[in-house]
C-alpha cells in the first residue's frame, strides 16, 4: 500500500525529473502516431526498415530540440527536420511530403486547441501544473493520441488520400505549396499562443482560434478537391478524345477488312488451287500485319490500359509511330492502376524510351517496335520491354546514358540521362539495356 501511495505521490505532484524521463518514450509514441497519419494520407509504400529508421530519427530530433533549444523555436526547427526526414527516408515527392505533414499537423493542432483549454478548466489546473505534474500530462496526452487514432480510422473508412499530388502541373504545385506555407505559419503561431497564453485565454478565444484554424483547413481541403476534380476531368476528356480517335480508326479498318473479305478469300483460294504454298505464306504474312494493326487498336482501350495518363501517352506514341510507317506490336498483360512506382515518373521514363525507339526505328529499312507490358509474379516484378530495330550496331549501351551524349542530330542528349536519374531515385527499379543484330532492347523492371 505504501508503494502505491508513493507512486501516486510521484505522479500527482510536481516532479520535473520524472516528467523529463516520461517525455522521452512519449516522443517515440507521438512520432509513431503522426507517422501512421501521414503515411496513410500520402499513400506511402514504406517498408518496416524505413518506418523504424524514421521513428528513431524523428524521435531523437524531437528529444534534442525539446531539451536543448528554447521554446518556441524548437517547434519550428523540429518541423523542418521532420519534413527533411520524410522526404529522404520515404522518398516521397516534395509536394506530397509537405502536404501530408501539414495535414497531420493541422489535425494534431486542431485536437490540441479543442481539448487543451477545456481540459485545464475542467481540472482547475494551470498550464504550468500540466507541464510539471506527470498524471495530468499523461492523461492529456492519452486523450490527444486517442482522438488522433480516431481521425486515422475515419480517414481509412473514407479512403481519403493524396495520390494525385505527384501528377499535377507546375502552376497548381506552386499554388498548393504557397497555401501549405501559410498553413505551417498558422500552426506555428497557434503553437506559440498555446505555449504562452493557454491558461490566460478564455475558452471562447480558444474556441474562436479553433474555428479559424478549422475554417482554413476546410477551405484548403475544398480548394484542393476542386483542383483535383478539374485535373481528373481534364484527363478523362483527353482519354475520351484519344479513345474516340482510336475507335474511328478501328472502325475504318474493320469496314475495310469486311469490304475486302471476299477478295481475301478468293486470293487464298487461288494460292490453294495452284498449290503455291510459298505465295500463300507470303500473302498470309501480309494479311497478318493488317490483323495485328487491328488487334493493336483493340488493345488501345482505356479499360485495358486502366490509367488515363498512360493511356493518352501510349495512344499518342502509337499514332506517331503509325505516321512514320513503323510496325508496332503490343502485348498488354499488366494492371496499370496498381503499378509499384509513381505514375508521373513511370510516364516520364516510358515517354523517353518510346521517343528513342520511334526515332531509331524510323531510320531503318525494316521499321519495327515491340512493346510488352506484363506482370512477372514469379520474380515479384512488373516488366516493360521495348524492342526496336536500329542502324547503329556499334552503339555503346553504357555511354548513351551519359549527360550530353546523343546519337541524334540537334538533340541535347538529356533523355536517357534523365531516365538514369529517375531510376537511381527508386530502389525497386532497374533498367536493363541490351542489343543484338536485329533489335535494341530496353527492359524496365519494377519490383514489389
**CA 181/CA 384 separation, integer angstroms:** 39
**CA 267/CA 270 separation, integer angstroms:** 5
- The model carries a pTM of 0.54
Q: Which residue has the higher pLDDT, 388 or 273?
A: 388
Indicate the pLDDT class of residue 412, thresholds 50, 70 and 90: very low
pLDDT for 166 equals 56
Q: Which residues contact 221 (CB under 8 A, 6 or more apart)?
A: none
pLDDT for 306 equals 83
pLDDT for 292 equals 66
Indicate the pLDDT class of residue 243, thresholds 50, 70 and 90: low
pLDDT for 226 equals 75
**CA 278/CA 382 separation, integer angstroms:** 40
State whether residue 396 is helix, strand or coil.
coil
Query: For 114-140, what is the mean pLDDT?
Result: 85
pLDDT for 4 equals 76
Q: Where in the chain is the domain with CATH 3.30.565.10?
A: 302-448
pLDDT for 191 equals 63
For residue 407, is pLDDT > 60? no
For residue 389, is pLDDT > 90? yes
For residue 104, is pLDDT > 90? no
Percent of the chain beyond pLDDT 70?
78
Helix and strand numbers (H, E) in the chain are 14, 5
pLDDT for 163 equals 58
Give the helix, strand, coil percentages of the chain, each rounded to 5: 70, 10, 20
Indicate the pLDDT class of residue 196, thresholds 50, 70 and 90: low
pLDDT for 99 equals 76
pLDDT for 410 equals 47
In angstroms, the Cα distances linking 379 to 196, 350, 448 are: 57, 21, 9
Smallest CA-to-CA distance from 150 within 14, 250, 36 is with 36
b/e code 27-42 from CB counts within 10 Å (16+ = b): bbebbbbbbbbbbbbb
Q: Which residue has the higher pLDDT, 39 or 299?
A: 39
Q: What CATH number belongs to 302-448?
A: 3.30.565.10
For residue 298, is pLDDT > 70? no
Indicate the pLDDT class of residue 210, thresholds 50, 70 and 90: low
Q: What is the rounded average pLDDT for all residues in the chain? A: 80
Q: Which cell numbers in the block locate residue 30?
A: 507521438
Indicate the pLDDT class of residue 354, thresholds 50, 70 and 90: very high
Q: Which residue has the higher pLDDT, 442 or 408?
A: 442
Query: For 54-68, what is the mean pLDDT?
Result: 91
Report for 147-156, 173-182, 225-234, 325-334: range of highest mean pLDDT: 325-334
Q: Which residue has the higher pLDDT, 415 or 191?
A: 415
Do 446 and 340 touch, CB atoms closer than 8 A?
A: yes
**CA 77/CA 105 separation, integer angstroms:** 14
For residue 382, is pLDDT > 80? yes
For residue 257, is pLDDT > 60? no
Query: For 405-426, what is the mean pLDDT?
Result: 70
Percent of the chain beyond pLDDT 90?
20
Half-sphere exposure of 224 (CA within 13 A, CB side): 24
Q: Which cell numbers in the block locate residue 442?
A: 530496353
pLDDT for 351 equals 92
Amino acid at each position: 500500500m505504501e508503494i502505491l501511495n508513493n507512486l501516486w505521490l510521484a505522479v500527482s505532484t510536481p516532479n520535473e525529473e520524472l516528467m523529463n524521463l516520461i517525455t522521452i518514450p512519449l516522443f517515440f509514441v507521438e512520432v509513431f502516431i503522426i507517422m501512421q497519419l501521414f503515411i496513410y494520407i500520402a499513400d506511402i509504400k514504406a517498408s518496416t526498415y524505413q518506418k523504424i529508421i524514421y521513428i528513431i530519427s524523428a524521435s531523437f530530433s524531437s528529444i534534442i530540440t525539446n531539451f536543448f533549444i528554447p521554446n518556441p523555436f524548437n517547434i519550428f526547427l523540429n518541423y523542418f527536420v521532420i519534413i527533411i526526414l520524410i522526404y529522404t527516408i520515404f522518398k516521397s515527392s516534395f509536394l506530397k511530403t509537405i502536404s501530408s505533414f501539414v495535414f497531420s499537423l493541422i489535425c494534431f493542432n486542431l485536437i490540441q486547441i479543442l481539448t487543451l483549454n477545456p481540459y485545464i478548466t475542467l481540472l482547475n489546473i494551470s498550464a504550468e501544473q500540466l507541464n510539471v505534474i506527470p498524471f495530468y500530462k499523461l492523461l492529456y496526452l492519452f486523450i490527444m493520441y486517442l482522438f488522433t487514432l480516431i481521425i486515422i480510422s475515419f480517414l481509412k473508412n473514407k479512403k481519403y488520400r493524396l495520390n494525385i499530388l505527384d501528377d499535377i502541373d507546375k502552376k497548381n504545385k506552386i499554388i498548393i505549396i504557397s497555401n501549405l506555407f501559410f498553413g505551417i505559419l498558422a500552426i506555428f503561431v497557434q503553437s506559440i499562443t498555446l505555449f504562452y497564453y493557454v491558461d490566460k485565454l478564455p475558452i471562447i478565444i480558444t474556441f474562436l482560434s479553433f474555428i479559424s484554424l478549422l475554417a482554413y483547413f476546410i477551405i484548403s481541403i475544398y480548394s484542393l478537391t476542386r483542383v483535383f476534380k478539374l485535373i481528373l476531368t481534364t484527363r478523362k476528356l483527353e482519354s475520351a478524345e484519344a479513345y474516340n480517335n482510336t475507335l474511328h480508326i478501328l472502325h475504318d479498318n474493320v469496314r475495310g477488312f469486311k469490304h475486302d473479305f471476299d477478295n481475301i478469300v478468293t486470293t487464298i483460294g487461288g494460292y490453294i488451287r495452284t498449290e503455291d504454298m510459298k505465295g500463300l505464306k507470303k500473302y498470309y504474312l501480309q494479311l497478318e500485319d493488317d490483323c495485328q494493326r487491328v488487334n493493336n487498336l483493340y488493345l488501345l482501350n482505356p479499360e485495358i490500359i486502366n490509367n488515363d495518363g498512360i493511356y493518352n501517352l501510349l495512344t499518342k506514341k502509337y499514332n506517331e509511330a503509325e505516321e512514320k510507317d513503323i510496325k508496332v506490336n503490343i502485348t498488354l498483360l499488366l494492371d496499370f492502376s496498381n503499378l509499384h512506382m509513381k505514375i508521373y515518373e513511370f510516364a516520364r521514363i516510358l515517354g523517353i524510351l518510346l521517343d528513342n525507339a520511334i526515332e531509331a526505328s524510323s531510320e531503318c529499312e525494316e521499321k519495327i517496335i515491340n512493346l510488352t507490358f506484363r506482370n512477372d509474379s514469379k520474380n515479384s516484378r512488373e516488366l516493360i520491354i521495348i524492342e526496336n530495330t536500329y542502324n547503329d550496331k556499334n552503339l555503346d549501351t553504357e555511354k548513351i546514358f551519359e549527360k550530353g551524349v546523343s546519337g541524334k542530330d540537334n538533340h541535347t542528349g538529356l533523355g536517357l540521362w534523365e531516365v538514369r536519374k529517375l531510376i537511381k531515385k527508386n530502389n525497386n527499379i532497374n533498367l536493363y539495356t541490351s542489343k543484338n543484330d536485329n533489335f535494341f532492347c530496353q527492359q524496365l523492371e519494377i519490383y514489389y
